[in-house]
Structure 1
Amino acid sequence: MSGQPEISFVIPVYNKADILPHTLSALAGQRLSVPVEYIFVDDASRDGSADILQARADALPGTVVIRNSDNAGPSRRLNQGAAQARGRYLCLIDADELIAPDAVATMLRLMQEHQADMVHGKVKHAAQAAAELHPPAIGTAPAMEINDRPLVTILDGRGFVRMAWLVETTLFRAAGGCDERLFIQDESLPLRLALKARRLIDLRAYVMWAPRAESHLSSDKRQQHHDRFFAYYNLLRDTGGLAPQDRRKIAAICASIAWKATRRSGLRLGTASALVSYVAAKIGLDVSDRYLDRAAAAFRAMPNIRKP
């Protein structure tokens, strides 16, 4: 499709040569009637991913392949791609998952019908390998929930960390995009978007399908604990005017992550201190800023954590 794009697909890529042909086929099968562009941001892949994308660009008109010489992580690469996007909407998805054929058309229709500025779909872990996987259509009337308090919904933690987003470009930019202090955007991006959003659609349909045996950065539990903690800690420290109940909830989540990291990831915070703060948060008591700052210092001192 030619002309000014309505939707910009922004897709970070790192060492996905084995699945990219299937990813591209699923994108080519999208049932869309509006102009689109595809911005792939290669994060210094070592397996020829960028060459595959470039060689197959003709199959997806409007494709741009951005190459990088350093591996900086998906947070920075999503921002890099979004900065070049010309569409009114951003479709933010992972390169190692296959998209349902009517996913984006359905998400766009629902956003417009309900005047939402962000919609999130679900990701299905499939038993098949990518070559055997053919995601079914969502259908015309998928289950969904409309939320006018997006931050409260995200803080409830009902599966918004996977990349299955359609958002208004203006919202993404108002939110400051991904937090580039973190390598992985899984937790921070929904929080930052929700802080600025008017209305969220929680689409209870599988828009993305993850093939068998595909790896994810978030499978590294130490990295996951580090980036999860700072997604919430940075939100607390960066944001003035949060409602007291939201601040209490965010601090409680920080305490929970710190306790898990102390037990499972070797965080040097002190088992007794981490447990006391976790239990206090569970029974509704405030978690002190002093404790959260100590936890942040301990997370910063964790060795072998990938940072942009």
Structure 2
Amino acid sequence: MNAEPHTPAIRLDAVTAGYHGEAVIREFSLSVAAGECVAILGPNGVGKSTLFRVITGLLQTRAGQVAIFDRPVRKIPAAERARLVATVPQELDTAMPFTAGELVMMGRTAALGRWIPPSHDDRRWVAEAMALTDTRHLKDRVFQEMSGGERQRVAVAMALAARPRIILLDEPTSHLDMNHRLEIVQMIEQINREQGMTILMIGHDLNLAAEYFSRLVLLHEGRIAADGPPEAVLTPDTLGAVYQCAVSIQRDPVADVLRVFPCRTAKGPTQR
């Protein structure tokens, strides 16, 4: 059954979850509309990756409810969840010398839960995923021989080949140079705009998020510190409390977006 037009793609109501008896996210509530593109931000250890594990059903909640298109995650079979929600890791790795084309096809067939020769439709979806990510020219290249930016594009193509309704990206730009970070985020924005796919991306780069995402969710100690457009989230008081440092917020006169700069403290480095 298709979800109603205004049904949230993702909804968490008062969720608490964690590991080994320790709560990482606490009474966490979040609603993401279908077709939204949202950046999940915050320092290390505040619950960003835990949030993704809860959304995908890999981590059970201790309290609260998690729903995907108004269906409780715990009641959605694992194979169906894999078709609804695709994830892109920080860094995709494989011990075997697979080509990009082979890996993207694996993304398609794994989501279908079957290991049979790909159909005509499977090949078509793979070709479309590689076109959207500009990886067609890499089809016959061995994955380990690619640059970091090329690998991440292939990882996104693998996710797209599954034809999901939601994509979760876990710091996809963390190991990339500046130019490749920009390429990946621009590609994500384009996929959201042209395909209408719901996208959540974990990130650390506040400036990149401010330029390409209309909604930012800033986490602090397992809770939401701020949620909204960049102008509402990226304030000196909020960022100072979350990152424990003074910051300066300025508007870039060329790009017309906010820029965040950490301020040098008067104390300076410790002298020996």
TM-score, normalisation: structure 1: 0.26
> Which protein is richer in helix relative to its size?
1
> Which protein is richer in strand relative to its size?
2
